[in-house]
Amino acid sequence: MTDRKKVAFYTLGCKLNFSETSTIARSFQDEGFDRVDFEEIADIYVINTCSVTENADKQFKQVVKKAMKLNSNAFVAAVGCYAQLKPEELADVDGVDLVLGATEKFKITDYIHDLSKNDMGEVHSCEISEADFYVGSYSIGDRTRAFLKVQDGCDYKCTYCTIPLARGISRSDALESVLKNAKEISQQNIREIVLTGVNIGDYGKGEFGNKKHEHTFLELVQELDKVEGIERLRISSIEPNLLKNETIEFVSKSRTFVPHFHIPLQSGSNDILKKMKRRYLREVYTERVGKIREVMPHACIGVDVIVGFPGETDEYFLETYNFLNELDISYLHVFTYSERDNTEAASMPGEVPANVRAKRSKMLRGLSVKKRRAFYESQLGTSRTVLFESENKEGYIHGFTENYVKVKTPWNPELVNTLHEITLTKIDDDGAVRMEFQNGQMLNAERQMTALYQ
């Protein structure tokens, strides 16, 4: 009897990639492979790549080196967005044996017959126009929350973005399939599901292979809210023009959807938004934030913003900074613009020097700290529910409230994947969050914690 082969996975990039990695991992397990941690010696290492930023490209090479250091004879496969955009470039990386594009990645076990190392990576990559069918995915067993893919691809033409080139046209999972996957997740003792996709607000488009919207994102949210066994549902990043007031109002009264929104802005300057070919102006963004605050004053609102886009003068950047400073939001995800091949922005005039990009990024990251602090302070004295994660970080266990306040308490494995009512009482200077115990047990009354300031 031969030993079962071991396979390990490493995911770069977004929540959508995590959901797909988990699905690919299950296909290996169905074929008789044992999944092990990436830090362990494996026969096969699968790296799910990202190409949103230049750093993600560099990270891939570092991950390959790490795999080769663990086992120089291991078979290394690359899948994902970078593998679709630049398959030959990945195949040239020392140690890579197989590169699979957008449609091939879900059939990876069909391509692995011989685990011998190749002199050069073998490439199987389709034309992106062929990526017109949908493959459902969700993550289970990797974290205390599950990422549920509901949509893939994008029909938008943002001038800085390679995702349509890497993932193809906008298409959606059938509503019945999403609900089936959600029910399967709910049976695995997972407390929270995060909806993910490339452009989830476009849900319903391409649901049955056509370009019509069979269902809307609101209808998806309404049906998921009825699924028994799910305690929390969280919406990941959603475009401001696709986040309708009806959806915001439904979430405010929902049984399971939590008061947390992550809404890409990218720039607070209308002139830059037009150059980016975004489908809204900043006035729409202001309206969305205002509507959320009207019906959910305690909601957490996260913002994506890009600095250093071609043509972003000091005046345009200050427009963005001042706009965000005055806006009632909770935190920022700041991205420094990097030129991507085959995008319109890469050939635009008005290149912003790297040192200026770095300075602007630092300024907005500082603003994010200020915004998060203000949001956390607004939550002090309120009662919330925390879901604890599974990782032991320097002797502490962390968790998030429904409105995305991060809390922590000394490590206790019994708290993993459990929900607890707490009262937010203090923001520690060092970012620590404390939970008070009485005789070794959590207080039955108001369990006190402090909000983690990041």
Residue extents of the structural domains in the chain: 6-126, 129-258, 262-376, 383-450
Walk across the sheet containing 98-100 and list its strands. Answer: 34-36, 6-11, 44-49, 75-80, 98-100, 122-124
Q: Is 139 helix (H, G, I), strand (E, B) or coil?
A: coil
Model pLDDT, residue 276: 98
Instruction: Write the DSSP symbol of residue 215.
Output: S
The residues that bridge with 6 in the sheet, in sequence order, are: 34
Q: What is the pLDDT of residue 134?
A: 75
Shortest CA distance to 452 belongs to which of 372, 382, 390, 393?
A: 372
**The pLDDT of residue 63:** 94
Burial grade of 73 (CB within 10 A; 0-12, 13-18, 19 or more):
exposed
Q: Which amino acid is at 234?
A: R
Mean pLDDT of 38-55: 87
d(CA 235, CA 374): 23
Highest mean pLDDT pick, 28-32, 184-188, 317-321, 407-411: 317-321
The 3-state DSSP class for residue 437 equals: strand
Residue 207 to residue 183: CA distance in whole angstroms: 19
Q: How far apart are CA 273 and CA 198, in angstroms?
A: 19
How many Å apart are CA 225 and CA 223, to the nearest integer? 5
In this structure, what is the dihedral angle of CA atoms 204, 209, 211, 215, given to the nearest 10 degrees?
Answer: -20
Domains 129-258 and 262-376 share a fold: yes
- Higher pLDDT pick, 1 / 132: 132
- What percentage of the chain reaches a pLDDT higher than 90? 62
CB neighbours of residue 355 within 10 Å: 8
Structural domain 6-126, CATH architecture: 3-Layer(aba) Sandwich (3.40)
388's tokens = 């604890």
Q: Does residue 310 or residue 417 have the better pLDDT?
A: 310
d(CA 284, CA 282) in angstroms, rounded, equals: 5
Please provide the CATH number assigned to the domain covering 262-376. 3.30.750.200
Q: Give the pTM.
A: 0.88
Please say if the pLDDT value at position 367 is more than 80.
yes
Lowest mean pLDDT among 273-282, 299-308, 378-387, 390-399: 390-399
Q: Spell out where 75-231 has E strands.
A: 75-80, 98-100, 122-124, 145-149, 151-152, 171-172, 192-196
Helices (H), 333-414: 354-379
Taken as a whole, the chain contains a residue count of 454
Handedness of CA 288, 290, 293, 296 (dihedral sign): negative
- Please report, for residues 45, 133, 180, 365, the alpha-carbon distance to residue 359 in angstroms, rounded to integers and kept in the order given: 38, 42, 47, 10
Question: Which H, E and C letters describe 280-297, residue by residue?
Answer: CCHHHHHHHHHHHHHHCC
Report the pLDDT averaged over residues 202-230.
89
Torsion of CA 420, 389, 225, 333, to 10 degrees: 120
Strand ranges across the sheet with 192-196: 145-149, 192-196, 232-235
pLDDT at site 432: 39
| CATH of the structural domain 129-258, one choice from 3.40.190.10, 3.30.750.210, 3.40.640.10, 3.40.50.2300 | 3.30.750.210
pLDDT at 215: 93
C-alpha separations of 253 from 222, 225, 403 in Å = 11, 11, 14
| Residue 30, burial from CB neighbour count under 10 angstroms (0-12, 13-18, 19+) | exposed
Q: Is the pLDDT of residue 236 over 50?
A: yes
